[in-house]
Amino acid sequence: MSIYESLNPMQREAVLCTEGPLLVLAGAGSGKTRVLTHRVAYLIEEKKVAPWNIMAITFTNKAAGEMRDRVDRLVTQGAEAVWVSTFHSSCVRILRRHISYLGFDTDFTIYDTDDQKTLMKQVFKTLKVDPKQYKERAVLGHISSAKDRLITPDQFEKEAAGDYRLEQEAKMYREYQSQLRKNNALDFDDLIVKTVELFEHFPEVLNYYQERFRYIMVDEYQDTNYAQFRLVSLLAGKYKNLCVVGDDDQSIYKFRGADIRNILEFEDAFPGARVVKLEQNYRSTSHILDAANDVIRNNLGRKEKKLWTENPEGEKIRFRMYDQAYEEADAVVKEIRDCGSSYRDCAVLYRTNAQSRLFEEKCLLYNIPYRLVGGVNFYQRKEIKDILAYLKTIANGRDDLAVMRIINVPKRGIGAASVSKVEIFASANDYSMYDALARAKAVPTIGKTADKILKFIELIEDFREKLKNGEYGLKGLIEDVLERSGYRAELEADGEVEAQTRLENIEELVNKAVSYENGSDEPSLGEFLEEVALVADVDRMEDSDDRVTLMTLHSAKGLEFDNVWLCGMEEGLFPSMMSISSGNPDDVEEERRLCYVGITRARKRLSLTAAKQRMIKGETRWSRVSRFIDEIPEEQLDTVKKERKIVLAGREINLDDPDLPWNRPSRPAGVSSFGKGENVYASRTAAFSGAAPGFGKAFTVAKAEKLDYGEGDRVRHIKFGDGTVKEIKDGGKDYEVTVEFDTAGQKRMFASFAKLKKI
């Protein structure tokens, strides 16, 4: 039997269509790599195309290696001559041969991220840029974004006209490129940009590669940016034999510059293009695929397709709603322990890195080995270690490692040479590093740096004094450290996705501190650090390949597992509050594509979980179920509901009452999709204001004519203890009271429910 007879009809059509532009819309798990490799084999063995006339471009070296191996197995002779490479590797090979046309030597250097930052520091010095006003990383990010769109320094300058800040960045961009050329160096973005420039300005070079690569294939086309689109368009411009494979429903890298329009508008860019849809899925059960289809069809910016399978129907999608986020993590990890599958067949997926903390702790608690993908262990992350080093120094100045870590973090002008002098002084006098720093004036030849060191010591001593006097608890301490040390300001000034992630991780550390304080009779900084140290001790985990995988949804793309738990399915978390509040519907559509990616990672069983309450920035927030859950028909879901009641204002309330705001459906009954621009979630979102739930018509409350306490008064709460009233707002039906509790942190509540007593 021919190897092509093993393909399904649509796969075979994609393989046999070799001439002209071809768009292969490959749904999740539909065998796109199989199509690409068989297409290479068909071109060589059946169409007699010379292997060196075939180019296959992928996004990662791993994918290129896998494709190379599979082509070698399929093609008996000549496979090694097929050009299988990533975008960047391909461009390096081309530039090494021809970059002299652009005035560079062929032995150019490629600058990595650290090299770029070093160079940008030189640019700052040359242009006398104030590093407090501009951050190297942020400026580099803007330059990278410009290069993705093939915007030159000249164009950047024109677009910046009238905007002082952008005008300054345009000067930095120009100087940065000038310094690169002076150093005979390119950054990663330049590899694409300079190759496009080479092709556009030197037709003879372009013609050589057009003749060389008569058949071009591009994988993961939905992830290409404009510069990559332009590169491919130029290469394929002569023979038009361009085959791109991708899935617009899995375009989730907009923040990296990916432009979904490249795949959505392929037929416009390449007239006469043929479109083949691969919709048969070989990975998942039909219940999982039906859920994926139901969610993604709510996107307007997509090409119509529907996954189907000959696999068994399988189990329904499990949906579980928990009261608290820690209950969610506990239940998920217990389910993994008891599900009967190998740990390696289980994955926990979540929207943000910070969510990993609870799952890591529960895995350690139940002695379940895990692998964290797309990040390091929560307590090993730089920002967490930095803040913990501050806390250790405040708790115990004898920890030299902690002191050394933060003495110049964030930068406060205390250089390595000065620190070395203090170390010598400490060693000679048998002082701890902290004690030596406190005596900085006595350190020989340290000069004016002594004043900067003593400011650091004063800061630490002030933190200690406030904590000792009960001016704040651990949450207040961490937030004070963030603010007064300048750590938060430095991260925020970077203005990048990574900086935002780091702040989210620190907020999760605050959550940990608040949870610890709430669960301890006599909380202390020392005891908190001991608890963290025990949790962070991952060395006691067994070394095994049989591990549960914990990862963000962005990291999960391209992977698959028998059992998947997709956690944190709440509005404001997934989809993210940033996407909801941006005002751009495309942002929520990208979040929905991310959900689609998560659902289609599951082969046999998929569980979706959410929490009604989740701690964010040390405060308990109430959330409603994600719209993505609402978009899955009830008949597809296995949902267990238990009656849960609480007593508020002397009345028994059923938390699952459908009239409560968080239980109301996101769309009218029977409506399965939404019109363009229709804000069907507005009423449900409006039911919430901050940490306290806005209850519906299940009951009413009697608003007091006036309160017997005011702002600044000390009050007592039956659960949270004593605190100080920070703010009182007249909310119409009731007063909203914000209290900074001594041990529980800041809470906002309705006066009728809070029953606060003045003390």
pLDDT of 674 reads 33
**Nearest of 565, 530, 539 to residue 550 by alpha carbon:** 565
pLDDT single digits (tens) 656-709:
565 565 555 444 333 333 333 333 333 223 323 233 332 222 334 467 888 889
Q: Which of 148, 175, 220, 507 is catalytic?
A: 220
Phi, psi angles (nearest 5°) of residue 666:
-80, -15
Separation of alpha carbons 341 and 339, rounded Å:
6
621 is known as an active-site residue: no
Contact (Cβ atoms closer than 8 angstroms) between residue 451 and residue 437: no
pLDDT of 108 reads 83
Q: What is the mean pLDDT of the chain?
A: 85
Provide long-range contacts, Cβ within 8 A and 24+ apart, for 198-203.
198/94, 198/95, 198/98, 198/99, 198/101, 198/102, 199/231, 199/234, 199/235, 200/234, 201/101, 201/102, 202/98, 202/101
Q: Which amino acid is at 244?
A: V
250 is known as an active-site residue: yes
Per-residue burial over 51-83, b = 16 or more CB atoms within 10 Å of its CB, e = otherwise: bebbbbbbbeeebbeebbebbeebbeeebeebb
- Point out the residues of the chain with pLDDT beneath 50: 537-543, 642-643, 665-701
pLDDT of 172 reads 95
Q: Which of 32, 68, 357, 612 is catalytic?
A: 32
109 is known as an active-site residue: no
Which H/E stretch holds residue 738?
Answer: strand 735-741
Number of helical H runs and strand E runs in the chain: 31, 25
pLDDT of 680 reads 32
Whole-angstrom CA distances from 393 to 86, 451, 459, 460, 743 are 47, 19, 11, 8, 22
Residues 6+ apart with CB under 8 A from 2: none
219 is known as an active-site residue: yes
pLDDT single digits (tens) 406-426:
999 998 999 888 988 998 888
32 is known as an active-site residue: yes
pLDDT of 694 reads 29
End-to-end, the C-alpha distance of the chain in Å comes to: 88
Phi, psi angles (nearest 5°) of residue 430:
60, 40
Separation of alpha carbons 411 and 491, rounded Å:
12
612 is known as an active-site residue: no
Q: Which of 250, 285, 355, 746 is catalytic?
A: 250
pLDDT of 16 reads 94
Strand 692-693 versus strand 714-717 pairing type:
unpaired
Q: Which of 601, 614, 627, 747 is catalytic?
A: 601
pLDDT of 582 reads 85
Q: Which of 12, 18, 33, 303 is catalytic?
A: 33
Per-residue burial over 393-423, b = 16 or more CB atoms within 10 Å of its CB, e = otherwise: bbbebebeebbbbbbbbeebebeeebbebbe
Separation of alpha carbons 388 and 394, rounded Å:
10
Q: Which amino acid is at 187?
A: D
- The CA angle 9-12-18, to the nearest 5 degrees, is 140
Q: Which of 219, 328, 517, 571 is catalytic?
A: 219
**Nearest of 322, 325, 320 to residue 362 by alpha carbon:** 325
pLDDT of 702 reads 64
